């Protein structure tokens, strides 16, 4: 059975194991970072990912099954998921301001939309930690 384990740092591990205890053991053996812990574990009903070989003799994740990603986002990251839906439900550009550069208005509207998602991500990352999450720590390379 496949399990998704949400970690206290906000990361998730997908593990194939016979039961939740073995999945937790596998995650621990995988190498949890110092202070990191498993905060939730749940069986996945489906999982699909596409891997592409690189010229560095490695594999890149090329794509995920959308339903799998949506399922993980909804269950392991509910605050981020809510922020995403909120950002997408807001009108992107209210009424354009006359005599103002429309491109600048679009950029500002886009930044406001992205900030809704960034705030949701910061809140999501704080759900399992007492430490405040700084703005720069919410974006991954």
For the chain, the structural domain boundaries read 1-64, 77-141
Query: Confidence class of residue 110 from pLDDT cuts 50, 70 and 90?
Result: confident
pLDDT of 121 over the 60 cut = yes
Instruction: Report helix, strand or coil for 48.
Output: coil
For residue 5, give the nearest of 70, 19, 131 by alpha carbon. Answer: 19
pLDDT over 70 at 132, yes or no: no
Q: What is the mean pLDDT of the chain?
A: 83
CA 94, 116, 90: angle at the middle one, nearest 5? 30
For residues 41 and 122, what is the distance between their CA atoms, to the nearest angstrom? 21
The torsion region of residue 80 among left (phi > 0), alpha (psi -120 to 50) and beta comes to: alpha
pLDDT at res. 23: 94
Check: CB of residue 39 under 8 Å from CB of residue 130: no
Which of 13-22, 30-39, 78-87 is predicted least confidently?
A: 30-39
Question: Does the pLDDT of residue 138 top 50, yes or no?
Answer: no
User: How much of the chain exceeds pLDDT 70, in percent?
Assistant: 87
pLDDT at 139 over 60: no
More confident residue, 129 or 38: 38
What mean pLDDT comes out for the span 86-95?
75
3-state secondary structure of 69: helix
Number of other CB atoms surrounding residue 120 within 10 Å: 22
Q: What is the pLDDT of residue 134?
A: 52
Residue 141 has pLDDT above 70, yes or no: no
Burial environment of residue 77 by CB neighbours within 10 A (0 to 12, 13 to 18, 19 or more) = buried
Q: Is the pLDDT of residue 5 over 90?
A: yes
Environment class of 15 (CB within 10 Å of its CB; exposed 0-12, middle 13-18, buried 19+): buried
Q: What is the pLDDT of residue 104?
A: 81
């Amino acid at each position: 059975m496949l399990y998704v384990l949400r970690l206290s740092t906000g990361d998730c591990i997908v593990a194939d194991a016979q039961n939740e205890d073995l999945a937790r053991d596998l995650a621990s053996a995988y190498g949890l970072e110092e202070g990191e812990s498993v905060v939730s574990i749940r069986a996945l009903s489906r999982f699909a990912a596409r891997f592409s070989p690189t010229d560095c003799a490695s594999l890149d994740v090329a794509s995920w099954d959308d339903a799998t990603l949506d399922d993980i986002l909804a269950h392991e990251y509910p605050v981020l998921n809510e922020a995403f839906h909120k950002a997408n439900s807001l009108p992107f550009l209210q009424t354009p301001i006359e005599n103002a550069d429309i491109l600048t208005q679009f950029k500002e509207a886009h930044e406001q939309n992205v900030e809704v998602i960034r705030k949701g991500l910061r809140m999501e990352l704080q759900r399992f930690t007492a430490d405040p999450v700084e703005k720069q720590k919410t974006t991954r390379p």
